[in-house]
Amino acid sequence: MNDILFPTPSVAIVVTPHPDDSEIGCGGTIAKWIREGAKVIYLLCTNGDKGSSDNQMTSDRLASIRAEEQLKAAAVLGVEEVISLGYPDGALEDSPVFRGQIVRAIRKYKPDVLLCTDPVRVGFYLHRDHRICGIVSLDALYPFARDRLHYPEHESEGLAAHKTPDALLWGTEAPDTFIDISETIEVKVAALSEHKSQFPLDLSDADLGESIKDVAMRAGQEIGIRYAESFRRVSFGR
């Protein structure tokens, strides 16, 4: 089993299906890495315009609200760049266009690691956007971003092929890598608190914090630390 020794990258890309998914899955890790000097880029796939049970809400209004919430949450973590692809909630497809957008980001920013949702779940049915996002992200890493003859138009834009050694998948049922977020758990809570449209009106910040800490505490118990985030590591070789 791997542990908290996963090295802090120079550059990381986080491919997140919806606003708030990255804060839930890896917010503490992002904050920790940024504190340690990493550059983190968000690639936000959908605008989250369907995630509301409010009878008075519209998709356009919700998309605007969630875009603002995501920018605020990213700022809390220290993320300086958020790239929004703007797909409607539920509209992600395993398509050459979507894959090419992720490949372009990989070739542009040259990450040491990419973080995304684990597309393989057995215990319960996974949101379709999460599944597609994970599958396409992994395909983008290997072999598409690596092999220059895929998306050859990128070379004309000055973007060379890039080999990313690792992916870390959150929301996994088979974690093998744990990141110690004991020093950044409060930052994770603060970032998630910005996504107010996604929580019940009667949920207090204190209750939200306790829920987040409970999940992180259970992950930390796996390796004997207070708070952790867990991932499945996929390595592509160097």
The pLDDT assigned to 5 comes to 67
What is the tally of structural domains in the chain? 1
- 5 assigned to some structural domain: no
- 1 assigned to some structural domain: no
- 6 assigned to some structural domain: no
The pLDDT assigned to 124 comes to 74
Nearest to 140 by CA among 127, 130, 128, 150: 150
Low-confidence ranges of the chain (pLDDT < 70): 1-5, 238
- 2 assigned to some structural domain: no
Full residue range of the structural domain in which residue 137 is found: 11-235
The pLDDT assigned to 2 comes to 45
Residues 6+ away with beta carbon under 8 Å from 214: none
Please report, for the domain that includes residue 84, its CATH number. 3.40.50.10320
pTM score, whole prediction? 0.94
User: Coil, helix or strand for 174?
Assistant: coil
- 3 assigned to some structural domain: no
